[in-house]
Amino acid sequence: MEIKAEDYCIQYDVHGSTVDFHGSLLLNGAEEYAPIVQLLNNAIEQQTAFVTLNIQKLRMLNSSGFQMLSKFVMKVRQQGDIKLIIKGNQKNFLANQILTKSTAFNANT
């Protein structure tokens, strides 16, 4: 499954249980992020032990995008039966941000 636009591309590989993010995700609010949320939900609905989010090639993410990914991390945590792996790299500080945000959320609920 793939969502492709001029500035970004998101690919879901069912066999590897991996969602790859490429480019700049700067969409306008929750409504425009809905198809991506659907793709992510689809990934965790499969009978799988883990899902990997690979954001090594994600260059930009706006606050609506942070919100969308943080909510997804929370959802997986609450569900509790799937291991979520977020792949970033040293030059990409988005992964830490997403994890920190969703941890802050859990601590307060």
Partner 1 sequence: MTELYRDFDESLPPSQEYLRIQFSPSSVPIKQQWRNNGLSANFMADFLLTFFPSKSGAINTEEQKIEVQGVICYVANELLENAMKFTDENAQEPISLTLYLLNESPEERLRQRLVFLSTNSTSIQSKEKLQQFIQRLTRSNLNQLYAEQLEKSALDKSNSSAGLGILTMMNDYLAKVGWKLEEIQDQPEIISVMTMVQLAI
Which residues are near partner 1 by CB under 8 A? Answer: 7, 24, 26, 28-30, 60, 62-64, 66-67, 70-71, 74, 90-91, 93, 97, 101-102, 104-105, 107-109
Least distance from partner 1 to the Cβ atom of residue 14, Å: 26
Determine the longest span between alpha carbons in the chain, in angstroms.
Answer: 38
Q: Which is nearer to partner 1, 1 or 34 (CB)?
A: 34
Q: Which is nearer to partner 1, 13 or 87 (CB)?
A: 87
Least distance from partner 1 to the Cβ atom of residue 87, Å: 18
For residue 93, give every residue at least 6 positions away whose Cβ sits within 8 Å of its Cβ, in sequence order, or none. none
Q: Which is nearer to partner 1, 14 or 34 (CB)?
A: 34
Q: Report which of 50, 42, 46, 47 is spatially closest to residue 11, judged by C-alpha positions.
A: 42
Least distance from partner 1 to the Cβ atom of residue 34, Å: 9
Helix residue ranges per DSSP H, 1-93: 29-45, 63-79
Least distance from partner 1 to the Cβ atom of residue 30, Å: 6
- Tokens matching residue 11: 């690919």
Q: Report which of 62, 9, 69 is spatially closest to residue 37, judged by C-alpha positions.
A: 69
